[in-house]
Amino acid sequence: MHGGYRLRAAASTDALLSGQGVIQAVTLVGGSTAATVTLFDAFTQSGTALWELKAAVDGVASISFPAGLKVGIGISLTLAGTGAVAYVSLA
């Protein structure tokens, strides 16, 4: 497990986390355009998406998972939107 980590991504990325983990929350901060973050339980940005979150221009969107969202392989994500930043909080 990777308790208490808050991962930050300012661009689409492979292997933001390698291995098992539990996602507690995802926060997306929109930039100068609307933003979308899509999370995958994979080393690469592929397969079935775990979750997708959207934020308006200069807006903030957040989702929490009280029971945790388990990942078995790792976390990768795609991030769209100029100046967008995504934060993934792990249990």
Please list the alpha-helical segments (H only) found in 1-91.
none
E runs forming strands in 1-91: 6-9, 13-18, 21-29, 35-40, 49-55, 60-71, 74-80, 85-90
Q: What's the maximum distance between 2 C-alpha atoms anywhere in the chain?
A: 35
Tens of pLDDT along 18-71?
899 999 999 999 999 999 999 999 988 888 899 999 999 999 999 999 999 999
Q: Report the distance separating Cα 78 and Cα 60, nearest Å.
A: 17
Confidence of residue 1 (pLDDT cuts 50, 70, 90): very low
> 36 forms bridges with which residues in the sheet?
54, 80
